[in-house]
Amino acid sequence: MQEQSSIRLFRRGPSAEVRVAIFVILALALMIVDARSTLLEPARRALSVIVYPFQRAAMAPGDLASYLSSWRDSAALVRTEKEALQRQRVELAQLSTHAAQLSVENEQLRRLLQVANAVTQPSVAVEVLYEPPNAFNRRLVFNKGSSHGIQAGMPVIDDGGVVGQIVRVTPYTAEAALITDDKLSIPVQILRSGLRLIAFGGGVGSRIEVRYLSSDVDIEVGDVLVTSGIGGLFPAGLPVARVDSVDRDVATGFGVAVGTPLSYPERYRHFLVLLVEESARKSLEQEDADE
């Protein structure tokens, strides 16, 4: 007779509580052994080698995010430093240009001081505010006016010579016509021979003209024209121009000498205004009114 066997529907074994207790005891034993000896060190190393790829895979997203953030911050830092270096380069270039300009101005001011000490008349140092945009009249506007003793008719000079003459004054500004202005004339004399003449502004081309010269007048190319002191307005001996050419018209018997001013109004910003006496200016204004 065939032996009947019962069908096992559930797997039999230790209960869950027993398994937990076994694992707890095993864990405690491993902890004690690991703390008191190095028997488990080879197993620990082998396990760490096996687990390492999984650790790296788990940490990869965080590492990538950290790398991208660091790269973005580094790029922003490099861009900021580049902009800062460019600004610094521009500032250094401006400082260098400004220093060179100050050096030139300082040298010109030293020469002006020497001129002021050599001239007997009292003077006022002025600085150019602006140059009126006029194609026909050569003018400069200075930063000082009647409040500093400047009046119309006073001469303006620099270290090269005569620059012009004050034509309009306000309490805080003064306008000067340059010697190349066609409305300005200056009594001059030839430094070589002492011959007295009248120099006029050429108007175009920044030139000085000595007109209506007789055919036998003693004037040559290269002669230096200085103020003659006639009229008492311009002190005698101030350089005015150097003669570049002398044209004589045989038909009329007269000639014209053209010269280049020895002053540099287009280069500098600082000039001297000579405070001539009131009597000299009034006599000159009376002569202009009579003419």
Residue type, 12: R
- Domain count across the chain: 2
Q: Is residue 184 within 8 Å of residue 165, measured between CB atoms? A: yes
Better-scored residue on pLDDT, 13 or 161: 161
Residue 12 pLDDT class (50, 70, 90 cuts): low
Q: Please report, for the domain that includes residue 142, its CATH number.
A: 2.40.10.340
Q: Tell me, yes or no, whether 132 and 234 share the same domain.
A: yes
Question: Can you give the pLDDT at residue 146?
Answer: 92
For 179-202, the pLDDT digits (tens) are 988 888 899 999 998 899 999 987
Q: 3-state SS of 107-130?
A: HHHHHHHHHHHHCCCCEEEEEEEE
For 25-49, the pLDDT digits (tens) are 888 887 777 777 776 677 777 877 8
Q: Whole domain around residue 114: which residue ranges? A: 14-118
Q: What is the mean pLDDT of residues 207-230?
A: 88
Q: What is the mean pLDDT of residues 257-263?
A: 91
In a domain, 285, yes or no: yes
Mean pLDDT of the chain: 81
Question: Can you give the pLDDT at residue 283?
Answer: 47
Extract the tokens encoding 208.
């000085």
Is the model's pTM score more than 0.85? no
Q: Is residue 185 within 8 Å of residue 209, measured between CB atoms? A: no
Residue where a domain stops, chosen among 93, 118, 143? 118
Phi, psi for residue 159 in degrees, rounded to 5? -70, -15
Residue type, 282: K
Q: Tell me, yes or no, whether 130 and 272 share the same domain.
A: yes
Residue 284 pLDDT class (50, 70, 90 cuts): very low
For 64-87, the pLDDT digits (tens) are 888 888 888 888 888 888 888 888
